[in-house]
Chains A and B, each alone.
Chain A
């Protein structure tokens, strides 16, 4: 493997779904275009490389939750890859505003975060996230993780 063995956790592909968990979204089944919301420019660039160059996906990046809210309607992503710890508007608030601000069904959201204690992951999923990818992520498998969480065959 190119970059050593960073621990990668991706959850939410259905294995953990409970019958009474009504908030969980249905995976879109396809992903061509990802909206990445990440305040760290180095991570943003790496995500673009991992999803775009390595993974063959179209990627639009936003540096803040506010920018994502402003652009999501025009971008119309298949999925949003959303950082949790961001200044001013964190990922949780961005997620809630994305859901509240959509006249149509909001795009599914995958949280990408270093905050992956079990109770934190449970919270993301109970809010309605499609899944969680742990930081540090593996750039060589990030696109595959996103596709898997989106239910792509």
Chain B
């Protein structure tokens, strides 16, 4: 029987994490731009919502795998609240200001140096 040859992910994983974190930063910029477009009315609301939901869904499903579960959970909550508004179960608090606060909250979870986990995420090695 041939046993699988395995090794620790090491530097390969760290490179992927750095690349992923750069994408998260771009995603947050895109979310901010989408909110601006919604506020100014230059794009249909449905398009803006769809773009935001796509970004947030992707974040929610991936951030935990790269070692940032809090980002994923927060993105999931944002996605769900955005969905409530889109589907007519509007939360009156979920205004443009609220969306900006959600985006700022996500940004606050990012490591200060790309690719480096915040201290609270580093536990467990």
Contact = CB atoms under 8 A, between A and B. Distances in A.
A118 interface: no
A74 B79 CA distance: 39
B9 A4 contact: no
A43 B24 CA distance: 13
A42 B19 contact: yes
Given A6-B69, A42-B62, A136-B61, A49 B7 contact: no
Which size bracket describes the interface of A in this complex? 20 to 34
Interface in A62-105: 85
A5 interface: yes
Interface string A32-59: 0000000010110110011001111100
B88 interface: no
Nearest to B123: A4
A138 B65 contact: yes
Interface residues of B, number: 30
Given A136-B72, A139-B13, A46 B65 contact: yes
A10 interface: no
A52 to B, nearest CB: 9
Nearest to B15: A45
Interface of A is mostly: loop
Given A42-B19, A45-B16, A53-B12, A6 B6 contact: no
A138 B61 CA distance: 11
A61 interface: no
A139 B124 contact: no
16 contacts: A4-B64, A4-B124, A6-B64, A6-B72, A42-B23, A43-B62, A43-B65, A45-B19, A46-B16, A46-B20, A46-B66, A53-B6, A114-B61, A136-B63, A136-B72, A137-B65
